[in-house]
Every structure is written in structure tokens, then in C-alpha cells.
A and B are shown apart, each in its own frame.
Chain A
Amino acid sequence: MTTILEVKELNKAFGGLQAVRNVSFAVEEGDIVGLIGPNGAGKTTLFNLISGVEQQTSGQVRFCDHDVSGWRPHRIAALGICRTFQTVRLFPGMTVLANAMVGAFLHTSVPAEAEARAEEALKLVELYPDRHRPTRSLTLVDRKRLEMARALCTNPKLLLLDEVMAGLNPQEITVALDVIRRLSETGLTLIVVEHLLKVIMQLSHRVLVMDYGLLIADGPPEVVRRDPKVIKAYIGGTEESYNA
């Protein structure tokens, strides 16, 4: 397998706060990589850096043999990285179908083609019957589904999912896992941030663990689970996380 994403010594500081420190890792094509860590560990910031929403303080991101460090988000998206947001970010003034079509327009300028692509993605996440509804009338779960469908419409090579399963009930999680596995079988590479450890451990081929901006573990789920550093970060790290 070939390396699709390579992150080298990535740093991001907000004023005095070092949100991401010296993070390096590589992702193989077709992998499902889980990214976990306590709140404030820097997971979302890492996504922001990879997708170009924020600029790193130092370090490098390579994707498909391009150094994308410092690129604007739209160029990175055109190269094949798409993402969802932890705080779902849809286009509230547009219908469900129109939201998905915005994503689909990345590869076609013909509205009918974009519509067909969007409808296909909406069927995948089971939102097709709601396609003419205004976005603001969707429940949170449906909003997350729509955001994922919209991202899929861009036909990405690498998809970054930021807590798409938070707020889902166990059945819905099973459905979501099934969707993600099927996507992975089509050759899509995924990095999945999720708080639900059990889900991540089931789903991922490989797990990255972040704490205080540092990458503290990187390996197969069964190894990471027994890693003393990870256990410490989750249980013995701070008083608060002990209560979790």
C-alpha cells in the first residue's frame, strides 16, 4: 500500500497555548485511522491544519505527493481531502439536496450531474426522502448525516470525520459504522475522531492517541488499548478525566 497522507513535525500555537506539538504520522491508502484523546487534546486543531482551515506554526503536511502546507482550504479540497465539523456546519439557507449539490459541484459544473451525484449520496445516508426540506428543519442526527453526504459528494480520497457518531443511538451507530466500512471498501481513506472508544476500537485498523497536543500512541487498537501512556491519559491523567 502507498502512503497517502504524511504529517511531519506539525506544530500549532494559539498565543501561548500549544494546541498541536510536533505531531508526525503517516496514513496508508485505504486505511481507517481512529484519532482519540481527551477534550482539548488537539484533535480538531489537527483536522483544521490538515484541511487548511488553520495554518500551522511549523511543520509539513504532504498529501498525494504534494506539500499542501499553507494551501488554502479549497485547493486542498480539490486535491481530495474533505472533512466534517464537530459543530456541524451546513448551509442553513439551502435545502438538503442543495447542500449536497454544493459538494458535488467540485467535479462537475453541470447542475443535473451534481444533482444525480447528490441524490446518490443522500440515499447512502438515508436522507433521500427529506431532500427538498429546508436544512434548518433537520434533527441533529440528520444534520450530521447530511454533512457526511455533502463531504462524500466531493468524491474525496481522504475523509476526515469529526465526531459524526456523537449523539447517535446504538442502532444508528451500527448503521453509521456500516456506511463507513462500505466507504472504506471502495478505497476511501478515513481518519475518524470519536469519543466512543469502543466504536473506534472496533472500526479502526489503526489508532492514534493525542493528549495535550502530543501524539502519545500510534498502533493497532489492541496494542494501543494496553499502552500505559494511553491509560494514564484517560484515567490517571487529570482528576477530571478520572471521573469520566
Chain B
Amino acid sequence: MSKDRDLLAAFLLLLVLASLPWWALKNSYTMGIVINALAFVSLGLAWNIISGFGGQLSMGHAAFYGLGGYTSALLLTRLGITPWVGMVPGMVMAVFAGLILGYPSFRLSGVYFKLVTFTFGLILEIVARSWINLTEGDPGVKIPLLGNAPAMYQFDSAWPYYYIILGLAALYFLISRWVLRSRFGFYLQALRDDQVAAETLGINSLRMKLTGFALSAAMAALVGTFVTQYLLFIDPASGFGMFTSVKIALVAIVGGTGALWGPVIGGLFLIPLAELANAQFSNITGVDVVLYSAVLILTAMFLPRGLVSIPDLLRVRRAPQVAPEEQPLPEQKSRLSGELGLTEANPKAE
């Protein structure tokens, strides 16, 4: 897809989504579904920067989302600081945590990064549950009702929330597109594909990965503040829980890891699907969880490159391309030297 077609498609999608409240989303429930979907589109776009472009799978991205939500919520309830300001320390906290986690684990293989991020999310959840003096424990932090108070990031209808998150998702899409086309994005992808080769071309792997991780964490934290203000509460499970982390990654994975459109398509497809399933089977708990699991397993087995790869798969099926076969190196070498009558210094040759 050409670069300008990406922008045009994104603009059209934005127009459609922006018009939805006027004709399709008649009540706050349906609007809530799309708000939720857009929040996960944004989170998926954030995750995609370090994990999709950079290939460093963050298994605990909820940690940064939760840090953003908790920091701004506590600053509001304890010190009365408006979340419009409080979201900045939330991002700073997330960046700081990202750098502390990233510094030791990026110097090792990718396995450590996955384990460390995963563990970090779970441990933050336990800390949020048990450090009651700070976090108010299991029940979570409730945002006091202020009615319509735009200056305090609170509104009495769903409309402003809808357009805030739509704007944020659009901004994140543009950031992703900019990253993909910039030196930074080329470097992240090169590191994902072959770190040793990338380093010999002058790429500072540690600095690039830390930058990517910090950006990704800050983006997730900002969404955390938004969702906390929209739902008017945050608790340890929804803020830091493994299920939230998995949903963030899932949105990008199902849509297409490392693809610009992956998180957008994944989020707009998966979240409404799960909400509908939950509404349909409201007497059974955990239908959405099983649905997510099923989608995860099926994607892993049949569509490892996500929904965005469907057009490619169809194209290949229609016009089968024969990939040039890889030439085995050693054979080629010895045959060639035989032909040329050169002195061959390969002891393995016959």
C-alpha cells in the first residue's frame, strides 16, 4: 500500500468514526463500546511501537497503562490536581519504569524482556492490592463525581470522551506512521530482524530500544489517564492485570504485529465482538475471556501475521508465486571452484 493511500484511508476512517455518534451510536452503551474499542486501538498502537516494529514483546503493557491511570487518579483524589496535568507525571512514571526495566533486560536476549515486563505487570498488580495506604487496595481508586467539569477532565455525557479518544487514536496512528517512515523506525525494524547486523551498520541497539520502549510506555500511560477518567475508577486488576496486558497485545497481534494498520483493525474488530458476546450471554461469566482465548489460539495457528495479511494470502492463492529457491552455499562453492580450476581451500570439499 502506498504511503499516501494509508493517510487517505485513515482520514476516511476517521470521518466515519467521527460521524458515528450522530447516526449510529444512539445511547451511551453503544458509544461506550466504541470508546472502549478506540482505547484499545490506542493501546495496541502504543504496544506495536516497541513490540511490533522493535520486535521486543512486552507482556505487561498494562503496567504502563495502570501507572498512567493510578498516578493521575491519585494526584486528583489526594492533591486535587486536574488529570489534564496529572497525565504528565503519569507518563513520566511510565517512562521511568520503562527505562529501569529496559536497561538490564535489553542487554540480554529477548526472553528476558518478555519475562521482566510480564513479571512487572503482575507485581504492580499485587503491590496495588496490598499497599493500601497509597492505592486504596483491592476496591481501587474512585474519582469523585464533579458533574460537568471540563477543566477536571470530567464530562456529563459520553460525547466529549468519544472525541478525546478518537483524537488520541488518530494521533497515535500518525505517530506510528511517522515512526515507520523515520530513521528511528528503520532502526527498530532492523534490530527486530537482525540485531548483530544492525549494530555493524552503526545502530546503537540499547539506546534505540530504550527510546522505543519509553515512547510506547508514555503512550500507554496517557490512555490510562483517559480510561480512568472515563470510567471514573481504576482498580488493580483492570489497571495492571494480566488480562489487560493480554488484551493490549492481542489487539495488535490479531490485527497484525508490526503492521501500521494491525492495532486499528484488531481493536475495531475484537473489542466490539467481545462486548457483543458478553451481552448475548450475559448469564455466563467470562464469555469474552474464552472468546479472546479462542481468537488468540486460532490466530496463532492459522493467521500468524494477523488480519492485515488476509489480502496478501488471497492474492498469493490467486496467482501462486514461486519463490526462488535458496541456493545451498557449500555445494555451490565447491562445484564452482571445480569449474574454474581454482585452488580450493575448503577442506570439506570432496
CA gap between A85 and B336 in the complex, in Å: 20
Structural contact, A140 and B329, CB atoms closer than 8 A: yes
Q: Which residues of B contact A38 (CB under 8 A)?
A: 345-347
Binds B, one of A3-11, A17-25, A99-107: A99-107
0/1 string, B192-213, CB within 8 A of A gives 1: 1110111111111100000000
Structural contact, B183 and A244, CB atoms closer than 8 A: no
CA gap between A195 and B337 in the complex, in Å: 9
- Confirm or deny: B344 has a beta carbon within 8 angstroms of a beta carbon on chain A: yes
Chain B interface residue bracket vs A:
35 or more
Q: Which residues of A contact B326 (CB under 8 A)?
A: 139-140
The 12 sampled A-B contact pairs (Cβ below 8 Å) are A39-B347, A39-B348, A77-B201, A90-B197, A91-B198, A102-B190, A103-B201, A138-B324, A167-B329, A195-B344, A195-B345, A243-B347
CA gap between A53 and B26 in the complex, in Å: 61
Q: Which residues of B contact A240 (CB under 8 A)?
A: 347-348
Structural contact, B327 and A102, CB atoms closer than 8 A: no
Structural contact, A244 and B342, CB atoms closer than 8 A: no
Contacts A167-B336, A196-B337; is A109 near B200 (CB within 8 Å)? no
Q: Which residues of B contact A78 (CB under 8 A)?
A: 202
Most buried by A among B182, B186, B345, B348: B345
Q: Which residues of B contact A221 (CB under 8 A)?
A: none
Residue of A nearest to B192 (CB): A93
Known: A74-B200, A90-B193, A102-B203. 20 other contacts (CB 8 A): A51-B200, A73-B196, A74-B201, A74-B203, A77-B202, A85-B197, A89-B194, A93-B258, A105-B183, A114-B186, A138-B324, A139-B326, A140-B327, A167-B336, A168-B336, A195-B333, A197-B344, A198-B342, A243-B350, A244-B349
Structural contact, A102 and B198, CB atoms closer than 8 A: yes
Count CB-based A-B contacts (< 8 Å): 146
Q: Which residues of B contact A166 (CB under 8 A)?
A: 329, 332-333, 336
Q: Which of A82, A140, A169, A199 contacts B200 (CB 8 A)?
A: A82
Q: Which residues of A contact B336 (CB under 8 A)?
A: 166-169, 196
Distance between A244 CB and nearest chain B CB, rounded to angstroms: 5
Q: Which of A82, A137, A151, A244 contacts B344 (CB 8 A)?
A: A244
- Confirm or deny: B339 has a beta carbon within 8 angstroms of a beta carbon on chain A: yes
Structural contact, A114 and B192, CB atoms closer than 8 A: no
B interface with A by C-beta (< 8 Å)? 181-183, 186-187, 189-190, 192-194, 196-205, 258, 321, 323-324, 326-327, 329, 332-333, 336-337, 339-340, 342-350
- Confirm or deny: A72 has a beta carbon within 8 angstroms of a beta carbon on chain B: yes
CA gap between A52 and B339 in the complex, in Å: 36
Structural contact, A74 and B197, CB atoms closer than 8 A: no
Structural contact, B202 and A137, CB atoms closer than 8 A: no
Q: Which residues of A contact B327 (CB under 8 A)?
A: 139-141, 167
Structural contact, B343 and A197, CB atoms closer than 8 A: yes
Residue of B nearest to A138 (CB): B324
CA gap between A139 and B183 in the complex, in Å: 27
Residue of A nearest to B327 (CB): A140
Q: Which residues of B contact A72 (CB under 8 A)?
A: 199, 204
CA gap between A73 and B350 in the complex, in Å: 37
Structural contact, B337 and A101, CB atoms closer than 8 A: no
Structural contact, B203 and A114, CB atoms closer than 8 A: no
Q: Which residues of A contact B323 (CB under 8 A)?
A: 136-137
Contacts A74-B204, A167-B327, A197-B342; is A89 near B197 (CB within 8 Å)? yes
Q: Which residues of B contact A53 (CB under 8 A)?
A: 196, 199-200
Contacts A93-B189, A94-B189, A166-B332; is A74 near B202 (CB within 8 Å)? yes
